[in-house]
Amino acid sequence: MIFRLGLTGSIGMGKSTTAKMFAEDGCAVWDADAAVHRLYAKGGSAVAPMGAVFPAAIIDGAVSRDALKEIIGADPQALGQIEAIVHPLLGADRADFAKNAAADILVYDIPLLFETGGEKRMDAVACVTVSPQTQRERVMARGTMTEAQFEGIRAKQMPNDEKCARSDYVIETDTLEHARAQVQDVVADIRKRMRDA
């Protein structure tokens, strides 16, 4: 029996760190962002279809995220076309992962899990959370975006409280030790549910 756990959470909540903890606990992890990077890289399966629709997005044989941002900025309709190309390819990548994974628990690290209706494909959902103040401090400490960009991303994401309310498990990432203990509890609970099924 295989258990599919969706892992979600807003920007700066500690999702990537938590995903690593699940991997350390014997789960197989599929990372949606890493999958997009694979699709966009030179030789990736998104390069040809993206180049056919948006030739300006291809730089040095790969899809440029910066070029895509400019395209979407100039034409908001372009986002729907980009998603129509990428989502089926992501689905195929996810299916390959599931077919080849050797673990009993498959963790799907998907930032916009609820926003895209992906929770319907999961057996349960875990949401990472932290206080809004800590979230802001973490994102700003990366030095990769402005306060306005951070607020823009946060505005596009489902409110954290709603994500937590809709999840089966909530993992608070205030400290590494606390997060790790909660991950171990989630894994133990899922394995118990699988034994009892």
Please state the pTM of the whole predicted model. 0.90
| pLDDT of 71 strictly over 90 | yes
**Boundary of a domain, candidates 49, 80, 102:** 102
Q: Are both 49 and 113 inside the same structural domain?
A: no
Q: Are both 45 and 122 inside the same structural domain?
A: no
**Boundary of a domain, candidates 61, 83, 102:** 102
Q: Are both 51 and 72 inside the same structural domain?
A: yes
Q: Are both 23 and 40 inside the same structural domain?
A: no
**Boundary of a domain, candidates 102, 128, 145:** 102
Q: What pLDDT, on the 0 to 100 scale, is given for residue 172?
A: 97
- The answer to whether the CB of 23 falls within 8 A of the CB of 140 is no
- The answer to whether the CB of 77 falls within 8 A of the CB of 49 is no
Q: Are both 96 and 45 inside the same structural domain?
A: yes
Q: Are both 175 and 113 inside the same structural domain?
A: yes
Residue 165: Cβ-neighbour burial (10 angstroms; 0-12, 13-18, 19+): exposed
- The answer to whether the CB of 128 falls within 8 A of the CB of 171 is yes
- Rounded CA separation 137/132 (Å): 9
Q: Which range (3-12, 32-41, 139-148, 170-179) has the least confidence?
A: 139-148
Chain centre to alpha carbon of residue 196: 29
Token pair in block for residue 165: 């309310």
Token pair in block for residue 138: 């973490």
Q: Are both 13 and 92 inside the same structural domain?
A: no
- Rounded CA separation 131/133 (Å): 5
Residues 6 or more apart whose CB falls under 8 angstroms from that of 97 comprise 28, 30, 106
Q: Are both 92 and 119 inside the same structural domain?
A: no
Q: Are both 43 and 133 inside the same structural domain?
A: no
Q: Are both 128 and 195 inside the same structural domain?
A: yes
pLDDT tens, 48-65?
999 999 999 999 999 999
- The dihedrals phi and psi of 58, each to the nearest 5 degrees, come to -95, 120
Q: Are both 39 and 21 inside the same structural domain?
A: no
Mean pLDDT of 55-79: 93
Token pair in block for residue 191: 């394995």
Mean pLDDT of 64-90: 92
Identify the domain containing residue 91 by its residue range: 33-102
Q: What pLDDT, on the 0 to 100 scale, is given for residue 155?
A: 84
pLDDT tens, 105-163?
999 999 989 988 999 999 999 999 999 999 999 999 999 889 998 988 888 889 999 99
Count how many domains the chain has: 2
Mean pLDDT of 71-94: 93
pLDDT above 70 as % of the chain:
100
Helix (H) or strand (E) holding 55: none
Average of per-residue pLDDT values in the chain: 95
- The answer to whether the CB of 18 falls within 8 A of the CB of 128 is yes
Q: Are both 139 and 117 inside the same structural domain?
A: yes
